[in-house]
Amino acid sequence: MARLGLEKEIVDQGVFDKAVEGFREAKIILPTFAELEDPNTIPSVIKDRLADVDADEAHPLNLFRVHWYNDANRRGLTDTPAHLVLPEELTGVKAKIIVALGNRFPMINAHKVLAAYGCLAPRIVTGQFNPQHHKALWPSTGNYCRGGVAISRIMNCHGVAILPEGMSAERFDWLDKWALDPQDIIRTAGCESNVKEIYDKCNELDRSPENIIFNQFCEFGNHLVHYRCTGKALEKTFASVSEANGGLSLRAFVSSTGSAGTIAAGDYLKDTFGTKIVATEALECPTLLFNGFGEHNIQGIGDKHIPLIHNVMNTDLVAAISDRATDSLGLLFNSDAGKKYLSDRRGLSTELIDALSGLGLSSICNVLAAIKTARYYQLGADEAVITVATDDATMYGSEREKANEELFGNRFDQIHAAEVYGQHVMGQEINHLEELNHLAKHRVFNLGYFTWVEQQGVSLEEFNARRSQNYWRALRPLLTAWDKQIVAFNEKTGVLASL
């Protein structure tokens, strides 16, 4: 099970000792998951030193900013995670749409650094990864490989990004600055929809014993860190919004499936509030809805397979959103013509209009699915749907230029803005949506067989065990076990004690 990151004891003492030696020399301290869940528990000596560290600096102390509670300049802390509450004037639904903002995370302005840390840290403290010898390979369609490269670099590890060549230019620009070597950026064929090609490249590279694949789609650290850290951050966010609105009912959590890491927060919210879990995907490749195929441009959400770490049997609803909608709304939210329309015709405040730049393509997808969910369940003003903005508009300037050229002939104006809003927001009906009954959940679950058992070598017993919620509950004590190992690891290096 080491391949899936499920070890909680030291697997190789020699590898563990090498990691301790390397971290001691590089003066690296690992935060516990409890500290990332509640950064108020981070030692004061570290908080004091963080004041002099830029959030985009390749500095080991930025590990202690890999949480949801960074303030606007990402140097201090907030009591409540940064979020938007989208009003009816924008969404067209009475229910509150709450969006947690991932752009407050350090280094990559996206919450995928949390997933990357959740995968790498357990491997280090259990003696499965030697930073002095191994390379950390991060297969992704965008933000996770950026997060992996960033986390690797500040943990003195050699990180390698693997992503489709068709991803946004801004992703590659960022990687060019952060990768240790240009050869550490591996481009695979295709675009967002070509996850299989990424797997094929990983299987090729995995033949070298120095390469360790951190496959976010089957690394349970990805699931667990979002269950605990993201789930509790969303609980805190909802509590704040609910209090400000005289009490609300949290009816649904919406997340694009992607690697199925973020959607694990829905498991926590369902345990806490009985919240419905809504999985979102691209209409151009409706895998969960129609066992489908195709190509799309909602960068960051993946498709054509069911991640091994997706708790399918706990998912309540599937909603598909078109990439034409996300591309068009990305232009609406970030162009002068679009902003003027939102101000003059929709009556939105300048503050809210500016804040919409906090939504990247997959974030807009989540918002539209939240609107669709609110309409499906006919939610009222005393009810809420919560979702996540993984990243912001920064990574998609080149994609907006393409959308303007291909969809609007480089002539996007207020008339186009009105058409886009009417079609993709007010016109977001309850089609391309399925509420999953027991049989439908098994249908979606079974689709994962072809990827994980036939192609990736997961045993049938291991694959089927995930049907039971007892399987997922049994994983959660791993976080406590890993925290004990992190504390012991830090004691071995002596770096924290020396501050």
pLDDT at residue 3, as a whole number: 58
pLDDT in tens, 240-283: 999 999 999 999 999 999 889 999 999 999 999 999 999 999 99
Tokens of 84: 């938007």
Look at the chain and count its residues: 499
More confident residue, 382 or 291: 382
pLDDT at residue 326, as a whole number: 97
Tokens of 205: 């590279």
Q: Is the pTM of this model over 0.75?
A: yes
pLDDT score of 191 more than 60: yes
DSSP category for residue 77: B
State the Cα torsion 453-455-457-461 to the nearest 10°: 0
Per DSSP, helices labelled H in 179-322 are 195-205, 220-225, 231-244, 264-273, 287-290
pLDDT at residue 1, as a whole number: 40
pLDDT at residue 302, as a whole number: 66
Report the alpha-carbon distance of residue 131 to residue 293 in Å, rounded.
38
pLDDT in tens, 295-349: 888 887 867 889 999 999 999 999 999 999 999 999 999 999 999 999 999 999 9
How many percent of the chain have pLDDT more than 70?
99
Q: Find the angle CA(105)-CA(109)-CA(114) to the nearest 5 degrees.
A: 45
Spatial neighbors of 286 by CB under 8 A, at least 6 apart, are 292, 294, 320, 432
Q: What is the mean pLDDT of the chain?
A: 95
pLDDT score of 70 more than 80: yes
pLDDT score of 101 more than 80: yes
pLDDT score of 369 more than 70: yes
Residue 106: strand, helix, or coil: coil
Residue 378: strand, helix, or coil: coil
Sheet strands side by side (includes 158-164): 185-188, 158-164, 135-139, 211-213
Mean predicted confidence (pLDDT) in 207-217:
93
Q: What DSSP element (H or E) covers 51?
A: none
pLDDT in tens, 21-66: 999 999 999 999 999 999 999 999 999 999 999 999 999 999 999 9
CB 298 within 8 A of CB 365: yes
Residue 484: strand, helix, or coil: helix
Report the alpha-carbon distance of residue 252 to residue 49 in Å, rounded.
39
Residue 460: how many other CB atoms lie within 10 Å: 10
pLDDT at residue 196, as a whole number: 81
pLDDT score of 192 more than 80: no
pLDDT at residue 95, as a whole number: 98
Report the alpha-carbon distance of residue 121 to residue 214 in Å, rounded.
11
pLDDT in tens, 468-494: 999 999 999 999 999 999 999 999 999
DSSP category for residue 132: T
DSSP state letters, 157-199:
-EEEEEEETTS-HHHHHHHHHH-SSGGGEEEESSSTT-HHHHH
pLDDT score of 2 more than 80: no
pLDDT score of 389 more than 80: yes
CB 230 within 8 A of CB 265: yes
pLDDT score of 398 more than 70: yes
Report the alpha-carbon distance of residue 298 to residue 317 in Å, rounded.
19
Residue 402 CA from chain centroid, whole number? 25
Report the alpha-carbon distance of residue 27 to residue 93 in Å, rounded.
51
pLDDT at residue 90, as a whole number: 97
Tokens 């301790």 -> residue: 20
